Structure 1
Amino acid sequence: MKRSSGILLHFTSLPSRFGVGDLGPAAYDFADFLAESGQRFWQVLPITPTAPDLCNSPYSGFSAFAANTNLISPEIMVEYGLLEYEDILNHTQPDTNKADFDAAGEIKETLLRKAFSKVANTLLDDPVFNQFIWENMHWVNDFALFTALKKHFKGDSWITWPEDIRDRTEDGLRHWGEKLYREILYVKFCQWIFFRQWGQLKDHLEEIGVELIGDVPIYVTHDSSDVWANKHIFKLDENGKPYCVAGVPPDYFSKTGQLWGNPVYNWEVLQNEGFGWWSSRMKHNLGLYHWVRLDHFRGFSAYWEVPADAETATEGYWVPAPGHQLFEKLTAEEGCLRVIAEDLGHITPDVIWLKDRFYLPGMNILQFSFGEDIGYCGDALHNHRRNAVVYTGTHDNNTNRGWFLDDADEISRKNLLAYLGYDWIDDAKISWEMIRMLMSSVGCLCIIQAQDLLNLDGSARMNVPGEPVGNWTWKLTPGQLTPLIREKLGEMTELFGRTSKID
């Protein structure tokens, strides 16, 4: 990875008239903004399906392979001839600075149903559609049946379904597949449309010299097609309920740790099977993105396992994982891994060894660096390593301005000012000062939150770990990323030798 820079902005945070940002015109506009300001990378959050009852978190999806249909662009469906322009005009919403997931879900569902009704009877005659199904057979059939069943059973968890389909008996799969045939076809149609639009956007990005960094959470949601279809690779009891769940011990974000609740893997079974499920997952994502950030990388060396009946994550314990064997297999299959290791939190020598063994760039967070240990803190600018991706903050951090005003203690503010050589600073300038520091890092890639280009305060924060509501809603409005910001970012990028050049 050559010296470069990029912006972190999830698709749902793009401007949109349909509730949340999507793969439509605003995505192309933002891609062009990146190229014109010398940025080489666009980092996004997971694109897997989300749900209101899971707080619309992109880290709590119903599938590790399928895509969130709320990200489908109605405008591009018009270009395909699947909708009329009048169809989408009747469903536009005010373009505000907050994502409306409920409205987006209703709008996209209505428009996708209308588009599907036009082609449903001839869809299986379309060779492009059939090729998509064939190439994605390892996940799309299970996901489509799972989604149709979730709708039929009014959103109930798969562990409450009739035994024949809960346990995926041969007769049960046949019966329910026939009974829900049309709904299953609709789900496959929606996935086809998404990945068709995705391919077009990726082609545009490659034409202008911008690469996508995706995000792969280490765990999947219990109520997902992955767990339902692969129960044996998770630690579940005879009724399908997890007897151990995932989390992290007490850390920067929480004094009692974080109790995520995802089922943990049965790594012994996975290893005995040659890590087939993980291999398919990584191949899928490395095909979608140019680079993949593996969330909670330390869990591939040892993970925090918590009894399912525990009240907090403090009752957990460390369990070793065969990450070395997994990455050996992935390297043999994919060659040099285009993977960024999210090595934040409780990092031990074994985690560092695993990351360095496969030459994976790690992460540094500038906001973490200004405490009492600034002299030897690994996140401090003077201690960055070249093979690293450096951030002022990620989606889990406050904005720069919000951090300075609300989160930083007296020592952190004092050390930041000392680092900048100031006695005092206007908080209206703090964000760009931290961006300048980040750009000067020796780290090969620096990533900036889009909110920080706008010097926004904590109200624009994307996520507060441990808080169940109020997250993921920040959204750009049209025109916020002005030519002046583009010019300023471009000049700073060039000054610090990070400008993207198209070959």
Structure 2
Amino acid sequence: MTQHRQAGVLMHITSLPEGNLGPEAYRFVDTLVKMGVSVWQTLPVNQPHGDQSPYQSVSAHAGHSGMISAQQLQLDGWCLPNELTLSLPALMAKVMARVQSGSAPTHGEGHGLSWSGFARFCQTQQYWLEDFALFGCLREQHHNQSWQQWPQAYRKHDPQALQAYRTTHQEPLTLIKFTQYVFFQQWAQLKRYANQRGIRLFGDIPIFVAYDSADVWAHPAWFKLDDTLNMTVVAGVPPDYFSETGQRWGNPHYDWLAMQKDGFSWWLGRIDTQAQLFDVLRIDHFRGLQAAWEIPAEEPTAINGTWQEAPGEALLNAITETFPELSLVAEDLGIITAEVDALRHGFDLPGMKILQFAFGGGEDNPYLPENIEQNSVAYTGTHDNDTTLGWYLTAPEHVRNHLHDYLNQHPPQMPAALIKLTLESQAKLAIIPMQDILALDSQARMNTPGTIEGNWCWRMQWSQLSEEKLLSFRHSVEESGRFHA
């Protein structure tokens, strides 16, 4: 993180009008330039499960194939207009055959793809790609059932059985790997475009991985599983602001002792994959690197859990020594102890400050603008909060009154007033969700923690971003000393 004041926008790739890495993503970069901001923050971009949650993926490494843009492949000359509506596997098979033969059907811009490049990708990403391809192929063959339901030889990752499977399934395995190659190439192309225009990409690493993932299947020894490979404890958070019964996420916990003995190789590989995609990385649920809430697997809620310590200092030492150029941000929301603060400060990591949490309490509230330290990332709200307009319209009366008095506006112009307050804070980076720039209400909320329906599906429309809204936000960025020319 640089020392000068910066501004950014939080907007997931799937929230773009087309929801992928195609022309709309480039248009969004151009829009950020017009706004005078220098950071684009997204949610995790790994391959999700059917619920589309970016925080429950089938791999800690693999990119979300649904973000691959057929339109971009056409622009680059690799597919024809009448192929744009093909299913992704059918389209990838056509593109792979053309890349292998070196014969693009049209003279497009010709970015990226080559068979030698694919071979290099397979070699450099082998540490995760081989297992992911096997996992994806086997999962499809078993009707997307969890790996725990597969025949024993596959379930237990038997080397001989898997070698025999490779021999008889070379084509679908290669197609899965090639699809990942296309994702990483399209991402690299977008990242170059953004970086050349002064926009840095800010990503997000979920603290835990899904049980039904290639990572747990391939490396069960690094997770707290019993002899039958079932989870003994699951992750979550205790009762808090969001939920009276806490949140039972259901992810497996790490066997930190085993991971540390191995030099944290899985974690370093994971950071390496994400460092290829992003300039800045947020560690989601950072407090889990100091101690995490362990819930017995048979418990239906998160109430009856215990805090279990993690070797956060040793892990962060390994990460910062291996990736000295990478900027890290700690998501330190929720129940934060002195030990968690000490771990964050020990590595000089910026924490997060949410302005929606600032009002309705006392003067010592850490989210009030005057209490926000410089080494922070300030937000109006995040993907887990309501939009700022939605929050304001449903906030308790004492919260609204406090906000009105604080701003000396009765009533204030919302969400513009909270955006301005966030940008004018001391935090060296201020991030505004796109929904707030567009002044949208609760219908545009991205996620409601503790619920499984209706999340992750919001998409913007360009018609929502009027010239007036763009210029108004740009003016606020300029006034706050965060403008990036």
Common fold by TM > 0.5: yes
- Corresponding residue to 2:381 among 376, 393, 410: 393
For residues 68 and 469 of structure 1, do their structure 2 counterparts lie closer, same or farther at Cα, with a shift above 3 Å needed?
Answer: same
Report Cα offsets for 1:267-302 as digits up to 9, x if no partner: 011111111111111122122100000000000000
- Letter of the 1:409 counterpart: P
**What residue in structure 1 maps to residue 106 of structure 2?**
none
State the partner residue of 1:61: 57
Quote the residue 1:102 is aligned against.
none
1:402 alignment partner in structure 2: 390
Matches within 5 A, 1:142-291: 142-291=131-280
Deviation of 1:424 (Å): 2.7
Distance 1:120 1:200 in 2: 20
Q: How many residues align?
A: 474
1:313 equivalenced with 2:331 (yes/no): no
Equivalent residue number for residue 420 of structure 1: 407
Secondary structure in structure 1 of the residue aligned to 2:462: coil
Q: Unpaired runs of 5+ in structure 1?
A: 92-105
CA RMSD of aligned residues (A): 1.7
**Counterpart of 1:149 in structure 2: which amino acid?**
L
Corresponding residue of 2:107: none
Question: What residue number does 2:91 align with?
Answer: 111
Letter in 2 for 1:391: Y
C-alpha deviation, 1:126, in angstroms? 1.9
Contact 1:366-1:381 within 8 A present in 2 as well: yes
- Mapped partners of 1:379, 1:107: distance in 2: 47
For 1:117 and 1:308, the matched residues in 2 are separated by 46
Report if aligned partners of 1:372, 1:411 keep a CA contact under 8 Å in 2: no
TM superposition shift of 1:410: 1.4
The within-5 A match list for 1:325-340 is 325-335=314-324, 337-340=326-329
- Three-state SS of the structure 2 residue aligned to 1:6 is strand
Q: Secondary structure at the match of 2:457?
A: coil
Tell me if structure 1 keeps the 8 A contact 2:99–2:114: no
Q: Counterparts of 1:443 and 1:335 in 2: how far apart (Å)?
A: 23
Shift of 1:120: 6.4
5+ unaligned residues in a row in structure 2: which ranges? Answer: 104-112
- 2:98 and 2:426 map into 1 onto residues whose CA distance is 54
- Seen in structure 2, the aligned counterparts of structure 1 residues 150 and 291 have a Cα distance that, compared at 3 Å, is same
Look up the match of 2:39.
41
Supply the AA of the counterpart residue of 2:26: Y
The AA in structure 2 aligned to 1:474 is: W
Q: 2:67 aligns with which of 51, 67, 71?
A: 71
SS of equivalent to 1:397: coil
Cross-structure match for 1:8: 10
Alpha carbons of 1:126 and 1:109: their partners in 2 closer, same or farther (altered >3 Å)?
A: closer
Residue 81 (structure 1) shift: 3.0
1:179 shift after superposition = 2.1
Q: Is the 8 A contact 1:304 1:318 kept in 2?
A: yes
Alpha-carbon contact 1:159-1:239 (below 8 Å) kept: no
2:285 to 283, 296, 319: 296
Q: How far 1:117 sits from its partner (Å)?
A: 5.1
TM-score (norm 1): 0.91
Aligned identity (percent) is: 40
Q: For residues 194 and 414 of structure 1, what CA distance do their matches in structure 2 show? A: 48
Separation of aligned partners in 1, 2:300 and 2:135: 30
For residues 461 and 446 of structure 1, the distance between their equivalents in structure 2, rounded to whole angstroms, comes to 20
Cα drift, residue 316 of structure 1: 0.5
- Taking the aligned partners of 2:410 and 2:479, their CA distance within structure 1 comes to 26
Work out the CA distance in 2 between the residues paired with 1:482 and 1:29. Answer: 15
Q: CA deviation at 1:499?
A: 0.9
- State how far apart, in whole Å, the 1-side matches of 2:101 and 2:32 are: 41
Sort the Cα spacing of 1:209 and 1:469 in 2 relative to 1 into closer, same or farther, 3 A: same
